[in-house]
Structure formats: structure tokens, C-alpha cells
A and B are shown apart, each in its own frame.
Chain A
Amino acid sequence: METIKNYFFRDMGVMLGRSMRHILRSMDTIITVTITPIAMMLLFVYVFGGAIQTDMDNYVNYLLPGILLIAIATGISYTAYRLFIDMQQGILERFHSMPIARSTVLWGHVLTSLVSNAISVVVIILVALIMGFRSSADILSWVAVAGILALFTLALTWIAVIAGLSAKSVDGASAFSYPIIFLPFISSAFVPTESMPAPVRAFAENQPVTSIVETIRALLSNQPVGNEIWVALAWCIGIMLVAYIFAMRAYKKRG
């Protein structure tokens, strides 16, 4: 058992290498993940944007945080998909019969999710730059943005792991992500919540996406983040822990 522990990170590296190959050999997944958020960004900036009143004069700046969250929510459905396929192919059984810690397999998928979502986030930010996105944020703020996006990705990834492990079909493995993709629409991601009817507004202002969007927006425009950052962090870490516990339970049950 001692040796298994010593090799944990090395084994995880092998697992990460494996699923990164999967991603690089299906670049279409990166395109699928980024194309919808980019199309939305174009649509909102060039079609609806003129009619939307925000407290920022640059609507791309206002919109980008929400778009990034949508991209991540789309991206994690592929994590569920890849995990599901692994179980179908029986390769998981082979790994489990080998002298490696069982959780390395899961962590490999989780790390891959982080890396592939980071790639899509970078692609989208590049497109946003072309569309006029500008930020006055300093390095520290960018690091904070990266950290929050990573936490958000991790939280959703563990939900994806539950879905991937307990799904009965390929479609089932990714269906769970639709409501998550929809959440940013009922938040301050596209329009300020002040314009919404009271009950919708109450929901919008108290769901996780709003605090995350507000925090990232503040960081990118060099504004004080206030309390929002703590609310955002609490949501991300809370969801992550709960999802992690259920994911591990589902994993034990499978294997």
C-alpha cells in the first residue's frame, strides 16, 4: 500500500496524459464546447446588446464572465461522457484490477476537465478580445479570476462525475448539464437583475452564478469585489464538497 501512495501522482499523470490524448484527438469537442458560447456572445453583443442597459459602456466586458461560465458548463458534460465511455469499454475494470489507487482514474478525469476547460476559456477570451473586450485588471486579479473559474470547473466536474458514473446511456450522461447551462440566463450574466420581475429577481440574485459573475466582472474591471467574492467562493467550495462526497460514493458503488 505504501508504494501505491508513492506512485499516486505519477499514476495520475499517466491518466491525465491518456485523456489529454483523447481531447487532442477529438478537437471537435473543443470546437463544440466553444462555438455555442461564442455564437451567444456575437448574438448578444451585435444583436441584443444595443437594447440592453448596463452600468458598463462596453457590453462585451459585461457579458464575458457569463459566457465563460456557460462554456464551462458545456465543457463538463464531456467529462461525464468520457467517464461513461470508459466504463462501457471495460478499461476501468482493467485499471481497477491493477495495483494503482482507484481514485487516480477519477482524478485523471478531473484534471483533464480542468485543462480542457482552461483551453476553451482561453479561446473564448481571445475571441472576446477581437470583439473589443478590454480589461484593466492587474496580474493578481487575473490570478483570482483563474482561481474562481478553476473552482467553478471543479465543482461542476464533480457533479459531472456523478452523472457519468450513474448514467444508463450516453445521452443521460450529458443531459444533467442542460439546467446548469441555463442558470446564467437567470442571473446578472446578460442583463442587470433590476429589470426582472420580483420573484425571478429574487432567484437570480441568490443563485450561485450571479455572485460568481459579479465577482469576475469586478475583478476584470478593477472594481472592489466586496462581499460577492466570499459568497462566490462559498458556493463553489460548498457545491464541490457535496458533489465530491456523492461522486466518491457512486464510484465505490460501481467498483
Chain B
Amino acid sequence: MLQNEIAISVQGLKKSYKNIPVLTGVDFQVKAGSIFALLGSNGAGKTTIVKILTTLLKQDEGSAFVNNFDIASNPGNVRQSISLTGQFAAVDEVLTGRENLVMIAKLRHLSNPHQVADDLLKRLGLTDAADRRASTYSGGMRRRLDIAMSLVGKPQLIFLDEPTTGLDPEARIEVWKIVKELAGNGTTVFLTTQYLEEAEQLADRIAIVHKGRIIVSGTLAELKKLFPPAKVEYIEKQPTLEEIFLAIIGKKEEN
């Protein structure tokens, strides 16, 4: 896979629910094999962007290409090349962890669904709970199963909508490890988060979405440069992403 290949390319994306504009012109690009974090507070439009890119929702205006397929004219091919872990765990609670994975493997038409399920259970530390119903899982286990279901079939691009919301710090670090491993193996990861620290920890590139627009995007280093360092020189402290975020939002608000 070429390093400079583009996995996601979005231009002028707009979306309103009824008459309320939610996305008012979103543009960004995600390099193949990288981790891209979309950062934003509640109601910023993160889930809406994810749903449009995963073909669950149609945009009103603008265009987007996912793995070089137009989401509007070629949703079938898009679905073939991605997987989604939505904001709220999408596991079948009545089935066991193993059955959930086998089901997805069958729906992806893999030749050895049981082997695939075994491997993923082991990889995500669910082997002991494999034959218990998912309804008995803790929040962290459910999330890991949810992510495991998205890894079935090794899609090139994985969408994770707030993968660590509601998890305790330990479970969060678990998920971070999985995400880093994925990227290490060449999978493109698109994740959304409300946690600045998470974006800092994981992402190659970060975009901040605010009121339906990407107000800034770049690498962590680039974002840090945007912050006026003058008044903090003698303190010798790097600005945290949180400060950058608040500063930028403050600036936008003034305009």
C-alpha cells in the first residue's frame, strides 16, 4: 500500500436534519494506513459524519470518496471495504461472544468463520467469556467484542465512533493498544472522540469539528504551532491540546 494513498476524501459535505443544519461544509482527507481523529464536543456532528461515510445516511450536498469509491454512487463497494463500530455497542445480546463473531464472519462470507472467531476472541482477551451471552458482559468486554466484530474479515478501513466513551482507564488503554496495533498492520483508522488526550495519544492527524465545520486540522505538532506561545514563554510548558481546542473555539466565537 502506498503511503500517500488517500483513504477518505471529503469535500463540502452538508447535512441538515429537517431544517436544522448539522454539517455546514466539511472538508478533510485521511491518508491510508494512518490514524485520523475527529475531535468535537457533544452534538458537534461527529456521528453524522461517520454515518454518512459508512453509507448509513445520505448527505444533502458535497461529495465523499472512501477507498476511492464514491459513497453516493457506489455504496456497495464502500461497505465491502470498511467496517463500523458505532457509538453505541452493536452486539447481539442474546448470542454469545463467539456466536456474534461467527455470525459476522459468515455474513462476510469467510471460508473459516469458526477459526476467525477463535483468533479474534484470543486477540481481544475474550476467550474465557467466549461462550457466555453478550448480555452478561461488562461495558469494557462488550466494547471489545464490538470492536472484534469490526475486525472480522480484515477491512482496510475501520470507523470507530467514540470507542472509549464510558470505559474505565484500564479498558481505555486496552482499546488504545488495539487501535495502535491495527494501524501498525496497515489498517486505516478513523476515530471520533471527545477526549483530547485520546486524540493526542493515538492520532497521526487530528481534525476538530465544531458547529458542523472542521475548524482546524493537522498533526499534533501543527496544531500546537497554531497556539500563540508568547505569554507562556517563561513557564516552559507546552500547551495541551485542550488549551489549543479552547483557544481556537474562543477565537471562532469572536468572529
Contacts and interface: CB of A to CB of B under 8 A. Distances in A.
Given A21-B94, A91-B91, A7 B82 contact: no
A14 B106 contact: yes
Which applies to chain A's interface (DSSP): helix, strand, loop or mixed?
helix
B107 A97 contact: no
Given A96-B56, A97-B84, A14 B76 contact: no
B56 A90 contact: no
B109 A7 contact: yes
Contacts of B103: 14, 17-18
B76 A4 contact: yes
A7 B109 CA distance: 8
Interface string B125-168: 00000000000000000000000010000000000000000000
A100 interface: yes
A90 B86 contact: yes
B89 A90 contact: yes
Contacts of B83: 97-98
Interface residues of A, number: 24
Contact of A94 (B80, B84, B94, B109): B84
A226 interface: no
Interface residues of B, number: 26
A54 to B, nearest CB: 44
Given A94-B84, A94-B149, A98-B79, A21 B99 contact: yes
B107 A90 contact: no
A1 interface: yes
B55 A89 contact: no
Interface in B83-111: 83-84, 86, 88-95, 99, 103-104, 106-109
Given A89-B92, A98-B79, 10 more contacts: A10-B106, A17-B103, A25-B94, A89-B91, A91-B90, A94-B84, A94-B104, A96-B55, A97-B56, A98-B108
14 contacts: A1-B76, A10-B106, A18-B92, A18-B95, A21-B94, A22-B94, A90-B89, A91-B90, A93-B86, A93-B90, A96-B56, A97-B56, A97-B83, A99-B79
Interface of A: 1, 4, 7, 10-11, 14, 17-18, 21-22, 25-26, 89-91, 93-100, 255
8 nearest CB pairs, A to B: A90-B90, A94-B90, A97-B84, A99-B79, A99-B80, A97-B54, A14-B106, A90-B88
